[in-house]
């Protein structure tokens, strides 16, 4: 269920190809839709099997994983004996930004291969309870791929430049590149960039035009503003708190507004989209929606915000994982 706040245009606007609704032209405020719930129901190499009592049981490729999840506030549906068969259990500190440890059952390899569409990627049991992929982001991956395909159909020879900030292990960079976009991937972690390039090689996509940049995201964007470089699509998935390679401090509450102001300046005049995702913050999708609306006051198009959720394997329950706000020109 969504709430729509339509705007009136003086001229005949473009229409959304999926909903056939009118979209404001550039120079006018974007139409605004919220709340929007984007669900991921899983694929061959991922399923949310069960959740409850502050934990979630998932399948990543050939391994079943039991991890903390504060938003899983109900009770598990599956028997405890099913949970007890998990290949890997994360224990210790349950804070999203805190370290912990993995406990393994049987012969579990340190890394294993999985796939999503044309991209092959490596799963690995990392600190901070992560395994190298955030499956709920599949809703954005598909959306971005669709936007690129639509634009390529309209203008086959037009180069599309995509910027992926806080790019992590690279799936959100590899998938647009596989659709024909030129991608700039920025992350402050050398280790994350190494993992992303490993995924590129595993996918057989080494020849795709991807720039891998290890740098503080705020500094990179500020420099792009000074250089006058622009991008047709921007993917922004910042942590709540982090540090750059030279100790630069990122705090989403104080750093994000300035970041968005700079990102507005490097959106091309024919930009297709901008996505903001926020995890583990004391906020709501309304807060980041309003921030995006302030950032893009005369951009036209459509601005929609809400939550990313994972749907359990049997489809009965959904788990909210993060907030999002995304703008598209058409």
Q: What's the predicted TM-score (pTM) here?
A: 0.88
**Model pLDDT for residues 22-39, shown as the tens digit of each residue:** 556 678 899 999 999 999
Can you give the pLDDT at residue 83? 98
Residue 149 DSSP label: H
CA dist 205 and 200 (Å) reads 5
Sign of CA dihedral 194, 199, 205, 209: negative
What φ, ψ does residue 127 adopt, rounded to 5°? -70, 170
Q: Taking the domains of the chain in order of start, what are their residue ranges?
A: 3-40+134-328, 46-129
CATH top-level class of 3-40+134-328? alpha beta
| Region 46-129: CATH code | 2.60.40.1180
CA angle, 122 then 108 then 196, to 5°: 15
Per-residue model confidence as pLDDT tens digits over 199-228:
999 999 999 999 999 999 999 999 999 999
Task: Report the distance separating Cα 102 and Cα 110, nearest Å.
Answer: 11
- Cβ proximity of 101 and 91 under 8 Å: yes
Tokens, residue 298: 């005369």
**Predicted confidence (pLDDT) at residue 315 exceeds the cutoff of 90:** no
Q: Write out the two tokens for 20.
A: 């056939």
Q: First-to-last CA distance in the chain?
A: 21
Please list, in sequence order, all residues whose beta carbon lies within 8 angstroms of the beta carbon of residue 122, skipping any fewer than 6 positions away: 111, 112, 113, 114, 132, 169, 195, 198, 199, 202
Distance CA 304, CA 293 (A): 10
Average pLDDT on 292-298 reads 93
The residue written with tokens 């056939």 in the block is 20
For 48-135, where are the alpha helices, taking DSSP H only?
Answer: 80-83
Q: Where are the beta strands (DSSP E) in the chain?
A: 3-5, 14-15, 22-23, 31-40, 46-52, 55-60, 63-68, 88-92, 100-104, 111-116, 119-124, 161-165, 182-187, 210-214, 233-236, 241-243, 249-251, 273-278, 302-311, 318-328
148-195 pLDDT, tens per residue? 999 999 999 999 999 999 999 999 999 999 999 999 999 999 999 999
Which SS3 state, helix, strand or coil, does residue 51 take? strand
CA angle 166, 224, 255 (to 5 degrees): 50
Q: Is 81 helix (H, G, I), strand (E, B) or coil?
A: helix
Domains 3-40+134-328 and 46-129 share a fold: no
179 close to 152: Cβ distance less than 8 angstroms: yes
Report the sign of the C-alpha dihedral through residues 94, 99, 103, 107, in that order.
Answer: positive
Chain-centre distance for alpha carbon 82: 30
Among the listed ranges 95-109, 137-151, 204-218, 272-286, which one has the minimum average pLDDT value? 95-109
């Amino acid at each position: 269920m969504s709430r729509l706040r339509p705007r009136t245009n003086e001229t005949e606007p473009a229409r959304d190809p999926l909903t056939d609704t009118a979209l404001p032209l550039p120079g006018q405020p974007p139409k605004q839709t919220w709340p929007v719930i984007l669900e991921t129901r899983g694929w061959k190499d991922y399923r949310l099997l069960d959740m409850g009592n502050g934990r979630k049981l998932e399948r990543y490729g050939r391994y079943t994983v039991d991890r903390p999840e504060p938003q899983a506030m109900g009770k598990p549906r599956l028997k405890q004996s099913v949970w007890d068969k998990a290949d890997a259990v994360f224990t210790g500190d349950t804070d999203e930004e805190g370290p912990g440890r993995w406990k393994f059952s049987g012969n579990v390899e340190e890394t294993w291969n999985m796939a999503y569409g044309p991209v092959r990627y490596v799963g690995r049991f990392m600190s901070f309870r992560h395994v190298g992929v955030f499956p709920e982001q599949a809703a954005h991956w598909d959306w971005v791929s669709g936007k690129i395909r639509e634009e390529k159909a309209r203008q086959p020879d037009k180069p599309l430049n995509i910027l992926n900030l806080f790019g992590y292990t690279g799936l959100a960079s590899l998938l647009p590149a596989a659709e024909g976009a030129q991608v700039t991937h920025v992350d402050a972690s050398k280790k994350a960039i190494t993992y992303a390039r490993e995924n590129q090689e595993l996918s057989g996509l080494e020849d795709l035009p991807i720039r891998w940049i290890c740098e503080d995201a705020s500094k990179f964007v500020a420099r792009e503003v000074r250089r006058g470089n622009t991008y047709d699509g921007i993917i922004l998935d910042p942590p709540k708190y982090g540090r750059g390679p030279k100790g630069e401090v990122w705090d989403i509450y104080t750093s994000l507004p300035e970041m968005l102001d700079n990102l507005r300046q490097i959106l091309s005049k024919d930009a297709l989209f901008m996505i903001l995702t926020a995890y583990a913050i004391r906020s709501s999708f309304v807060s980041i929606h309003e921030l995006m609306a302030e950032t893009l006051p005369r951009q036209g198009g459509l601005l929609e915000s809400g939550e990313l959720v994972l749907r359990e394997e049997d489809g009965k329950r959904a788990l909210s994982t993060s907030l999002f706000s995304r703008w598209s020109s058409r």
